[in-house]
Structure 1
Amino acid sequence: MSYTLHAHAHSCCEIRGKRHSLLCDPWLLGSAYWRSWWNFPPQESLESLLSIWSQLDTLYVYITHLHWDHFHGPTLKRLIKQLDNIHFLLPLTPERRLSNDLRQIIKSIPLTELSHARFYYLAPSFRVLSFQSGPFFADSALFVDAGGSKILNANDSKFGRMAFRDLLRKTGSPMYALRSHSSANYRACKKNLDGSPYLYPADKSGAVYSSEFFEFCSQAGASYAVPFASNICYLHRETFEHNSLLNSSDVAVEYCSNTFQNKSTSPLLLLPGESISLISHQICKSAWRRNLLSRDRVQVLSEYAQSKSSCLNKQYIIEDKAVPNLRAIKSYLSSVIKYCPFPIRLYLRRHVYIHIKSERVSLFVYLDFLSKSLRFLDVCPTFSGSDVCFVIHPFVINDVCRSSHFNSLGVSKRLSVLARQGNNRDAVFNYLCNTYEAEGILDPSVLISLRFWVVWMRRLPEVFDMLFLVLRSVALSAIRRFK
């Protein structure tokens, strides 16, 4: 059977056969992260895709991880409402947050959780392997063997050396490797405690992101390296400035083509709305390709923002009226503090603040990890060099605390983080919140569950990677002290 690879949106791809298809991370409606993220180039028409998918025997839908640009609730609800042939696939992670959240949406629709590093047949010549990464809450890659054509959708996953070797031993080298190639964190939002920019950039450059993308694909032995899962832009007034940091797929392909002379791996541009035959390797190009490549990017983005102005203006009106939901904020943050293990409490101590800020609101939350309490402050405290302060809009912090989704905050870039450069307490607090939300590795009830140990036994190479990193960090620290 012949298959085609389709790129539909930012991190949404499809491997399509005549009677069945596999759809990954469908975000095909509107925006994500409180109107911050938008598909760019714009996603394909969902209506036209629904008409195609409705004729299939089965549409398999795989979700890699919990972030809203991959687990997009509005799109999933639309698919469920209009299609009766869906079968959902998830990685069988140590924590249950991903499966619990999805089950709340899909109810009785079939759902299969895929064990780590094991092949599953979806059809006689169509099999998939889910491969997890990440100790705090799991991300995953998906390896697809479609009629002998092999595709690795690495997405946002990052692998250590031993885990990567384990993956390739089980799968072999792919024909196509798809991977992200731009910033999806809050490092660009970090500033000094007085609000001034850092002397040295906190985030990596576009060239570094492009190099990491290509080197991963090359090490995987892929014939084609496809920049993927970074096809977005920022249209919200609070985050529009971050468009200057985007490393778009066409820029990544141009950089890799000019920089790397690896003849066995070729960078390949596949934009949303385009597809490629897995037999002939011919690309069906979209009209957006010429628009994207031949015009000034700032002008294109400005026009895109203008086309969404009605939606954005409605959002601004809602946000301008927002006031802090003190009950939700206190409930969430108090739970995080109580969840925090003793060694991390000693590190964070009394050094974490949250500034809830808008044109009409200015309120500080002081987190005291030593006494396991918090206080609301009307006056700006005097920060020390060990302090960190998260500056967040009241509309955003309300939703974060109600939905227990701090893990989406940094990705959204709808925040500022004030900290002395080199102070990593913001990262530790972020990981603490992520682990709490996912019911992850720091939860004693999770540590004694059979599911936790069964999954991690299958992920032993990753455990060895983490142990190596810890030992390396300790050794380097000892060397610095000795000097």
Structure 2
Amino acid sequence: MEFKILSHAGLLVRNKPGKSLICDPWLVGSSYWRSWWNYPPVSKDLINSLQPDFIYLTHIHWDHFHGDSLKKFRPDIPIIIPKGNYTRMKDDLFYLGYTNIIELKHGERFQIAEQFYITSYQFWMFLDSALLIECDGVKLLNLNDSKHMGLTLKQIVRKHKPIDFVFRSHSSANERLSYQIVDEPNAPVDDLERYIKEFAQTAKATKARFAIPFASNHCHLHKDSFHFNQYIQHPLLVEDYFKQHQIQSPQVKVMVSGDSWCSDSGFTISDKDWFTNRSALLAEYLQQQKDSLEKFYAQENKTEIDKQVVVAYFEQFTATLPYFIRRYFKKVHFTYVLSAGETTKYVYQINVHQGRVVELPPDTPLDHATYPIQIHTTAFIFLRGIEFRIFSHMCIGKRVFYKVTASQKKYMEALNLVFNAYEYDLLPLRRIFTWRSVESWSMRWREVVLYMQLAKDKLVYGKLDLDKYLR
């Protein structure tokens, strides 16, 4: 068998007769409104060589579920997805024109070909999944972005040991770095080192032979997010961590787009160094994509918003919230500051408790005593969040900036959780009690136990100690 790294989170696995599976094929262009780009870029020759028999999508985030890349493949190709409590992945694939969708339940095994099987393992309230791949006697655990730990990770390891390769993310893909605490400017908003530490802990817990830093090989090229490149934890930093902590097993291997492993010949890894001189290479990459970026800037600058669209969205959103959530936000106002070009064009003050939207003049003095929770982004991104019901994606792209006071930060974090719950069919609450949802969670009882353990830790010790669940 052979596996090949395709991209940021793209993986190709092929058996000896030539049957192939691709996971999370983001191959072309950018993601999250020109913010995320594959790093290193994926060669056109590699893209054109791909003729998969099956595709597996771990979850719905655009750097994994990438519409433009999926269009490279025929509409009747079998696309396999995790079967969680919601149907959005399937619905969106049908919307894109794909007709052969296969849903796998948690722990369900599926045969790709002779001696070629996959098993899907779900995790997290807002559905993510890992994929255990068995091909010609070799076992690969593609954890990707999923944060399996405790009983959920033990389930996978016990059932499938020994595991040969484990793939996992190792850098930030959340909104934490997008926070600015205006009255505590030196307050830390994220612990960057913990991502690599958790990669190492998880890799060791799987007892795999090799650990591949994966699903974090991207960069930022948009002018609003380019500065976030300095915070990306790239694979050489993972390799250094293993050396500093004298971790011999599993053996870490740095692999980027085009690199591969074959059961007959072992590793084939390019000798090009993409990380030591990353700043110069990023500047070159930025220049290569200049025309694409400029066209997008012009598109963003022309965005117009109809206030009634905003009003209709938040009225509908608030109507799905149970009383206890609405009450939590009763005295809280969220101020969206939306730019189009170099100037502020729209300012909306939103009260989630009532579902009320007030439009303020664009030149409103936005002092933080009066407006303690400000969300700065573009009118284009805000409108896309409404049109496609993807507010939960906005913060991932590193193009939304939260300027909040320390005392009000918790409300912004809570709102982002509620957006996720709304868009992942956990709201209204009755959706939790559908047969599909009950079936999914009953199969994932180990995860429910993990959440109960974490809740106990928070109540008893006042903090979450994830280390003990990653051993």
- Confirm or deny: 8 A CA contact 1:38 1:232 kept in the other structure: yes
Does residue 365 (structure 1) correspond to residue 351 (structure 2)? The answer is no
RMSD: 2.1
Q: Give the distance between the partners of 1:50 and 1:382, measured in 2 at CA.
A: 53
Question: Does the residue aligned with 1:153 lie in a helix, a strand or coil?
Answer: strand
- Confirm or deny: 8 A CA contact 1:180 1:213 kept in the other structure: yes
Can you list the C-alpha shifts for 1:378-407, whole angstroms capped at 9, x where unaligned?
A: 234654599422111111111111111112
Question: Does the residue aligned with 2:72 lie in a helix, a strand or coil?
Answer: helix
Tell me the matched-pair count: 457
1:293 CA drift (Å)? 4.6
Q: Counterpart in 1 of 2:113?
A: 123
1:97 CA drift (Å)? 1.1
Can you list the C-alpha shifts for 1:254-284, whole angstroms capped at 9, x where unaligned?
A: 232x22323331111111111111344x222
Q: Give the distance between the partners of 1:31 and 1:408, measured in 2 at CA.
A: 14
Say if 1:400 and 1:370 are closer, same or farther in 2 by CA, change over 3 A: closer
Q: Counterpart in 2 of 1:481?
A: none
Question: Does the residue aligned with 1:272 lie in a helix, a strand or coil?
Answer: coil
Q: Give the distance between the partners of 2:441 and 2:264, measured in 1 at CA.
A: 37
Q: Give the distance between the partners of 2:25 and 2:244, measured in 1 at CA.
A: 32
Q: Counterpart in 2 of 1:66?
A: 60
Matches within 5 A, 1:183-332: 183-193=172-182, 198-205=185-192, 207-256=193-242, 258-280=243-265, 282-286=266-270, 289-293=271-275, 296-332=277-313
Does residue 466 (structure 1) correspond to residue 454 (structure 2)? The answer is no
- Confirm or deny: 8 A CA contact 1:6 1:276 kept in the other structure: yes
Q: Counterpart in 2 of 1:434?
A: 420
Matches within 5 A, 1:139-154: 139-154=128-143
Can you list the C-alpha shifts for 1:348-389, whole angstroms capped at 9, x where unaligned?
A: 223222222342334322222333322222234654599422
Can you list the C-alpha shifts for 1:210-240, whole angstroms capped at 9, x where unaligned?
A: 1111111111111111000000000000000
1:450 CA drift (Å)? 0.8
Say if 1:291 and 1:266 are closer, same or farther in 2 by CA, change over 3 A: closer
Q: Give the distance between the partners of 2:50 and 2:378, measured in 1 at CA.
A: 41
Question: Does the residue aligned with 1:424 lie in a helix, a strand or coil?
Answer: helix
AA aligned to 2:154 is: R
Q: Give the distance between the partners of 1:476 and 1:334, measured in 2 at CA.
A: 39
Q: Give the distance between the partners of 1:400 and 1:335, measured in 2 at CA.
A: 14
Question: Does the residue aligned with 1:10 lie in a helix, a strand or coil?
Answer: coil
Q: Counterpart in 2 of 1:338?
A: 319
Question: Does the residue aligned with 1:411 lie in a helix, a strand or coil?
Answer: coil
Within the candidate set 387, 410, 413, 1:402 is matched to: 387
Q: Counterpart in 2 of 1:377?
A: 360
Can you list the C-alpha shifts for 1:410-450, whole angstroms capped at 9, x where unaligned?
A: 1100011012336322221111111111212x323422311
Q: Give the distance between the partners of 1:444 and 1:112, measured in 2 at CA.
A: 27
Within the candidate set 89, 97, 110, 1:98 is matched to: 89
Q: Which has a greater percent of helix?
A: 1
Matches within 5 A, 1:11-26: 11-17=9-15, 18-26=17-25
- Confirm or deny: 8 A CA contact 2:85 2:432 kept in the other structure: no
Say if 1:342 and 1:96 are closer, same or farther in 2 by CA, change over 3 A: same
- Confirm or deny: 8 A CA contact 2:36 2:219 kept in the other structure: yes
- Confirm or deny: 8 A CA contact 1:355 1:363 kept in the other structure: yes
- Confirm or deny: 8 A CA contact 2:234 2:275 kept in the other structure: no
Say if 1:52 and 1:464 are closer, same or farther in 2 by CA, change over 3 A: closer
Question: Does the residue aligned with 2:71 lie in a helix, a strand or coil?
Answer: helix
Q: Counterpart in 2 of 1:34?
A: 33
Identify which range, 329-338 or 125-134, moves more after superposition: 329-338
Q: Give the distance between the partners of 1:247 and 1:320, measured in 2 at CA.
A: 32
AA aligned to 2:122 is: Q
1:340 CA drift (Å)? 1.9
- What TM-score, normalized by structure 1, do the two folds share? 0.89
Q: Counterpart in 2 of 1:159?
A: 148
Say if 1:175 and 1:383 are closer, same or farther in 2 by CA, change over 3 A: same
Say if 1:279 and 1:150 are closer, same or farther in 2 by CA, change over 3 A: farther
Question: Does the residue aligned with 1:79 lie in a helix, a strand or coil?
Answer: coil
- Confirm or deny: 8 A CA contact 1:324 1:356 kept in the other structure: no
AA aligned to 1:16 is: R
Q: Give the distance between the partners of 1:150 and 1:274, measured in 2 at CA.
A: 18
Q: Give the distance between the partners of 2:130 and 2:372, measured in 1 at CA.
A: 36
Matches within 5 A, 1:440-479: 440=426, 442-476=427-461
Say if 1:254 and 1:355 are closer, same or farther in 2 by CA, change over 3 A: same
Q: Give the distance between the partners of 1:368 and 1:51, measured in 2 at CA.
A: 51
1:34 CA drift (Å)? 0.6
AA aligned to 1:232 is: H
Q: Give the distance between the partners of 2:281 and 2:360, measured in 1 at CA.
A: 43
Question: Does the residue aligned with 1:174 lie in a helix, a strand or coil?
Answer: coil
- Confirm or deny: 8 A CA contact 1:346 1:369 kept in the other structure: no
- Confirm or deny: 8 A CA contact 1:62 1:90 kept in the other structure: yes
1:51 CA drift (Å)? 4.0
Say if 1:107 and 1:42 are closer, same or farther in 2 by CA, change over 3 A: closer
Question: Does the residue aligned with 2:79 lie in a helix, a strand or coil?
Answer: strand
